[in-house]
Structure 1
């Protein structure tokens, strides 16, 4: 696991406070794809449980897995008591129980690419569903976006995670759909986008930046400087584009 992947636990409370949750439309999309009620689900890299809540509060029996103890402790404060929690990285999960749905919310890119799909296939029931969803939070106003880019530039070229397989941003099928299309274990790959527009205060926007791995791995002094520089160029409130890209696939029957 990379330093960036390990960086979140120290910010568990901020992650819970500043990262937006997931809309009901996402649950509806996954359920429609499944074609039947989803009774059991396994979440990979559950963080503080933003996506766990979406499914658990709608009657799905969720097992939430997360390698970081601080994140898992924060999750347990916010999810229904019936959610089962397991402290484990994806690579440490042992095949055994299978689930109608296995999903990752802005976490799949931290998993090992060499064994990702064989491990995933071992966890999904034949005919069951795999889902991955997430997306960057971007400033909607190009002039504000440029001011923030310039303020960040002495410290970071970019704060986004590049496509793990190098797929260009404008390509019709984005990662991980590109990998799923080549997988022997999954079929029916579908990509959808749920549009999401938010308004937040400048302070909350910087709070959200403080949970992003690119900033978390900076030395503390640089992190303080870059957030101070960004705050200086932000208006009091900012408009955000936070579209959710959803990839769905079905486990081939055995």
Structure 2
């Protein structure tokens, strides 16, 4: 997992170009849950700042942390002045400050499980909010999804990231909600979905895949062949299901 977590720097500019951003509705969901003003926030694993820019629009003073120097450098090109950037993994963040909100966009699964929630509780002020969200982007057409899976199968059986605690995908509460429910430091755990659909060219979809860790770690020749095979089964334009899975909890 560590190798996959630190694989994105090699494709930082491509990540910024092809990874979709987040809709403003996501910020609205988090603010509604908070039920009070959020003035300060810490972001864990900010990447190139896709979510950072949405939350910064809410007038929040954000500290955006990112463990990969290349990703951090790309983020610094795009975030506004109310964002402070920090080169650090979650496990290395100092615990001297606490925030109204701590959030992670498609990055929490890269953190180490040992002591995760005790450390998180030290970063969220009492009564503050923790939020985790991600968009497992998939082809909306099930037949196309299966065709793409079959095309990549000789080189890559699965391009997703397994649930860190092994929670089955068909259970009502998904990770990290499952862990938050067991945590002594957090309460009022909620799970919701923000619907999000995208339309893009097949070429841009391949560009998106090129930023997914499972593909980044393939040998270059194999990666090129996978993309050729997948592109062959796709129409010129594809619709993507990019619904955002949101987990929220309140610090005791």
TM superposition score category, shorter chain reference: over 0.9
Q: Distance in 1 between matches of 2:171 and 2:218?
A: 31
Residue 190 of structure 1 aligns with which residue? Answer: 190
| Distance in 2 separating the partners of 1:28 and 1:136 | 20
SS of 1:28's partner is helix
- Provide the C-alpha distance between the structure 1 equivalents of 2:93 and 2:79, rounded to a whole number of angstroms: 21
Partner of 1:121: 121
Aligned length: 252
Aligned to 1:206: 206
Query: When the two structures are superposed, what TM-score results if normalisation uses the length of structure 1?
Result: 0.98
Query: Per the alignment, in what secondary structure is the counterpart of residue 223 of structure 2?
Result: helix
1:112 pairs with 2:112:
yes
> Aligned partners of 2:101 and 2:219: how far apart in 1?
39
CA RMSD of aligned residues (A): 0.8
Question: In structure 1, the residue corresponding to 2:4 is in which secondary structure?
Answer: coil
Deviation at 1:135, TM superposition (A): 2.5
Distance in 1 (alpha carbons) for counterparts of 2:195 and 2:59: 25
The yes-or-no answer on 1:42 pairing with 2:75 is: no
Q: Which residue of 2 aligns with 1:53?
A: 53
For the 8 Å contact 2:21–2:51, the answer to whether it is kept is: yes
Q: Report the Cα distance in structure 1 between the residues aligned to 2:72 and 2:101, rounded to whole angstroms.
A: 20
SS at match of 1:65: strand
Aligned mates of 2:81, 2:94 — CA distance in 1: 24
Matched position secondary structure for 1:190:
strand
Question: Who is 2:224 aligned against?
Answer: 224
Matched with 2:172 is 172
Whether the 8 Å contact between 2:60 and 2:82 is mirrored in structure 1 is: no
1:75 alignment partner, SS class: helix
Q: Give the Cα–Cα distance (whole angstroms) in 1 for the partners of residues 234 and 30 of structure 2.
A: 36
Q: Distance in 1 between matches of 2:248 and 2:33?
A: 8
How far residue 220 of structure 1 moved from its aligned partner, in angstroms, is: 1.1
Q: Where does 1:1-254 land on structure 2 (aligned, <5 Å)? A: 2-252=2-252
> 1:82 deviation in Å?
2.7
CA distance in 2, matches of 1:30, 1:142: 31
